[in-house]
């Protein structure tokens, strides 16, 4: 009798623990299934960039990868790990590391029009010997990976670079973002003469982040500096860190030099021509990012000075009627930042019927602002015309919305530097290529 009583108590306790657990698990799987279905309908179920490739035959659905991913990319759908938020993946590779059965490898998705990825090998060397592709341009946007790729490319180039050659540098690094800075520091460590060219200013793609945007990263070894251990760091802190390292190590970053051509000369040297100068080098590392030039809307009035393609400091805008065009994280972050300023009226125009690519925090924040009517959203609309004091938007069935406006911020992505790369002779990936980083 006592045994039956004990078993009964145990069963009750087990039920009290198990039922909430299974309910929570079922809820999580249902949410993951809905998110996956939403991404599939939007045509973004698999990114072209570096991301987890899941062997569903070996996957046991333990959820280790889901818990390890800091970007909420993965979920459990029908008992298997599945990509549910493809656009959030930045190539951490943590999911691959924690999978107990080896069901995850890191690789690239099928090439997509407008999102081609250059071919490169395990050393990040392109189809052109001596020309390297690193960082975001190669489909990997994570700061940690970008720095490490820059270092690896330099280490490989060091095997073929001839010190004391007739060129002005052994190595030309194009781009002064994380990958370019990592490469420059690595080259100094090895005693390689390098020239760093940047079309904007030190920081590269980081400069395009909104003010105070937190950049997710993980521990990374930076040459001549040590370990960067911060899990979150603001744009300003990261730029300050890079500036301090560059100044301390005496690196000369040649800013405001847009590279216009790269050619191979008869003597084997690369001739790198910028908007102001020409350089010769044995090797070239391209760390220029994927943003390229901002994608234009192609509408009347877009040339007006009130139109901008990035938001540097939201505090400069108060008491204004502002339109943000786009539905990605950059557009949402800009809208949130602008709404915080005194007296602003902020409207979002997005061509889709709902947001599909947002990070969880951004989705929650913009959802709350919309609910409180702090930000107005016009889904399924596109800009038809920009006028000095208003903007005309076109909606479904040619419905027209004319809104009062002082400034327009366009976040429609960037034109990839595909033409520039093709001119150089860089080939693009045409079939799946497993990651080697």
Q: How confident is residue 420, by pLDDT bands cut at 50, 70 and 90? A: confident
Q: Do residues 99 and 164 both lie within one domain?
A: no
CA dihedral 3, 6, 7, 11 (to 10 degrees): 170
Query: Which range has highest mean pLDDT (5-9, 192-196, 228-232)?
Result: 192-196
* pLDDT tens, residue by residue, 159-192: 876 554 555 578 999 999 999 999 999 999 998 8
What pLDDT sits at residue 431?
Answer: 39
Q: Do residues 322 and 274 both lie within one domain?
A: no
Give 153: exposed, middle or buried? Use CB within 10 Å, 0-12, 13-18, 19+.
Answer: buried
Q: Do residues 97 and 73 both lie within one domain?
A: yes
Residue 114 covered by a domain: no
Q: Do residues 64 and 170 both lie within one domain?
A: no
What pLDDT sits at residue 161?
Answer: 65
Domain extent, residue 32, equals: 26-107
Which CATH number fits the domain that encloses residue 201? 3.50.50.60
* pLDDT tens, residue by residue, 46-104: 555 667 888 877 788 888 898 888 777 888 888 888 888 776 676 667 888 888 888 88
244: three-class secondary structure by DSSP: helix
Q: Do residues 275 and 167 both lie within one domain?
A: yes
Q: Do residues 331 and 277 both lie within one domain?
A: no
Q: Do residues 42 and 147 both lie within one domain?
A: no
Q: Do residues 279 and 189 both lie within one domain?
A: yes
What pLDDT sits at residue 25?
Answer: 53
Q: What is the DSSP string of 143-190?
A: HHHHHHHHHHHHHHHTTT--TT-SSS-SEEEE--SHHHHHHHHHHHHT
What pLDDT sits at residue 294?
Answer: 77
> Would you say the C-alpha torsion 415, 417, 423, 429 has a positive or negative sign?
negative
Q: Do residues 230 and 281 both lie within one domain?
A: yes
Residue recorded with tokens 């084997």: 268
Residue 4 covered by a domain: no
The pTM assigned to this predicted structure is: 0.62
Packed helices 143-157 and 178-189: angle between N→C axes, nearest 10 degrees: 40
The pLDDT > 90 percentage for the chain reads: 39
Residue 369 covered by a domain: yes
What pLDDT sits at residue 437?
Answer: 34
96 CB contacts (<8 Å, ≥6 apart)?
Answer: 52, 65, 104, 105, 106
Q: Count CA atoms within 13 Å of residue 120 on its CB side.
A: 29
Q: Do residues 364 and 404 both lie within one domain?
A: yes
DSSP 8-state class, residue 351: S
Number of compact structural domains in the chain: 3
CA distance 342 to 103: 51
What's the mean per-residue pLDDT of the chain?
82
What pLDDT sits at residue 113?
Answer: 41
CA distance 185 to 19: 55
Q: Do residues 143 and 220 both lie within one domain?
A: yes
In whole angstroms, how far apart are CA 103 and each of 56, 66, 70, 148, 437?
A: 7, 13, 19, 25, 18
* pLDDT tens, residue by residue, 289-346: 776 667 889 999 999 999 998 887 888 899 999 999 999 888 999 999 999 999 999 9
Q: Do residues 277 and 335 both lie within one domain?
A: no
């Amino acid at each position: 009798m006592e045994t039956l009583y004990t078993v009964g108590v145990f069963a009750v306790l087990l039920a009290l623990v198990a039922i909430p657990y299974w309910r929570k698990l079922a809820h999580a799987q249902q949410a993951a299934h809905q998110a996956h279905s939403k991404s599939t309908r939007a045509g973004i179920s698999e990114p072209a960039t570096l991301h987890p490739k899941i062997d569903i035959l070996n996957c046991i659905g333990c959820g280790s990868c889901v818990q390890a991913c800091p970007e909420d990319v993965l979920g459990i759908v029908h008992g298997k790990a599945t990509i549910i938020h493809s656009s959030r993946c930045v190539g951490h590779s943590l999911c691959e590391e924690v999978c107990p059965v080896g069901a995850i490898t890191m690789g690239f998705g099928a090439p997509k029009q407008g999102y081609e990825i250059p071919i490169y090998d395990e050393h990040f060397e392109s189809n052109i010997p001596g020309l390297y592709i690193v960082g975001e341009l190669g489909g990997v946007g994570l700061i940690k990976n970008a720095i490490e790729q820059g270092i690896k490319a330099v280490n490989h180039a060091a095997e073929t670079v001839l010190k004391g050659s007739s060129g002005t540098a052994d190595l030309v690094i194009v781009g002064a973002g994380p990958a370019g800075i990592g490469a420059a520091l690595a080259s100094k460590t090895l005693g390689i003469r390098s020239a760093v060219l940047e079309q904007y200013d030190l920081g590269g793609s980081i400069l395009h982040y909104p003010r105070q945007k937190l950049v997710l990263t993980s521990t990374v070894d930076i040459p001549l500096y040590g370990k960067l251990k911060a899990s979150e760091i603001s744009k300003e802190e990261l730029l300050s860190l890079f500036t301090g390292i560059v100044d301390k190590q005496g690196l000369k970053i040649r800013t405001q030099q847009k590279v216009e051509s790269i050619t191979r000369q008869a003597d084997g040297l690369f001739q790198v021509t910028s908007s102001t100068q020409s350089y010769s080098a044995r090797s070239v590392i391209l760390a220029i990012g994927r943003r390229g030039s901002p994608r234009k809307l192609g509408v009347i009035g877009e040339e007006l000075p009130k139109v901008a393609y990035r938001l540097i400091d939201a505090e400069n805008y108060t008491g204004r009627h502002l339109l943000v065009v786009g539905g990605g994280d950059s557009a949402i972050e800009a809208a949130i930042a602008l709404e915080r300023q005194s007296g602003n009226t902020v409207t979002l125009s997005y061509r889709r019927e709902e947001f599909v690519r947002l990070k969880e925090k951004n989705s929650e924040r913009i959802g709350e602002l919309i609910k409180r009517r702090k930000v107005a959203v016009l889904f399924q609309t596109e800009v038809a015309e920009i006028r000095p004091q208003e903007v005309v938007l076109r909606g479904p069935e040619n419905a027209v919305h004319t809104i009062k406006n002082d400034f327009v911020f366009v976040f429609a992505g960037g034109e990839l530097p595909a033409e520039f790369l093709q001119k150089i002779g860089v080939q693009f990936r045409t079939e799946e290529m497993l990651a080697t980083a």
